């Protein structure tokens, strides 16, 4: 019985390792991941993460995938490089609205300060990979 348990454990370990390396492979082929790691020393990135984690953003958003709201990577790719993007996005996060990514409205965030809104907008734009 003990032997059986050990071999089951062994088999599931192999399965776990297999899964892990498949994941790693996907990461290596995605330059976006490497870029995100480089960002960790950027103050806007750090502060933006803090503010968004405390707020409700991640109920509706993910970085890489569309959720109720668009993936932030897609948002960054759409507006990154535009001079007016920080102000535009800061405003949109403050007031909410719909119609850019679909008909579902983005929630308003009247409680974030103007500084925080701009930091968050810069943080989202940092996620650009194109």
* Site of interaction with ligand HEC (CB under 6 A): 52, 55-57, 59-61, 68-70, 75, 89, 92-93, 97-102, 104-107, 109, 120, 124
Shortest approach of ligand HEC to residue 11 CB, angstroms? 42
Shortest approach of ligand HEC to residue 95 CB, angstroms? 10
Contact between 90 and 121 (Cβ < 8 Å):
yes
Q: In terms of Cα–Cα distance, which of 28, 32, 26 is closest to 129? A: 32
CA dihedral 95, 101, 104, 105 (to 10 degrees): 0
Nearer to ligand HEC, 120 or 126 (CB): 120
Structure tokens given for 106:
């983005």
Nearer to ligand HEC, 12 or 59 (CB): 59
Shortest approach of ligand HEC to residue 45 CB, angstroms? 13
User: How far from the centroid of its chain's Cα atoms is residue 122's Cα?
Assistant: 13
Nearer to ligand HEC, 7 or 59 (CB): 59
Shortest approach of ligand HEC to residue 73 CB, angstroms? 11
Q: How far is CA 25 from CA 1, 33, 104, in A?
A: 37, 12, 35
């Amino acid at each position: 019985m003990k032997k059986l348990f050990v071999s089951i454990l062994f088999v599931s370990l192999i399965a776990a390792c297999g899964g892990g390396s498949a994941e790693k492979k996907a990461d290596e082929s995605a330059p976006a991941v490497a870029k995100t790691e480089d960002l960790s020393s950027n103050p806007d990135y750090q502060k933006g993460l803090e503010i968004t984690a405390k707020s409700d953003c991640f109920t509706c958003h993910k970085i890489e995938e569309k959720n109720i709201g668009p993936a932030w990577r897609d948002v960054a790719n759409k507006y990154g490089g535009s001079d007016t993007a920080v102000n535009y996005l800061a405003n949109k996060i403050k007031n909410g609205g719909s119609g850019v990514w679909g008909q579902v409205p983005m929630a308003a965030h009247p409680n974030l300060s103007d500084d925080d809104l701009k930091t968050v907008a810069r943080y989202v734009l940092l996620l650009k990979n194109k």
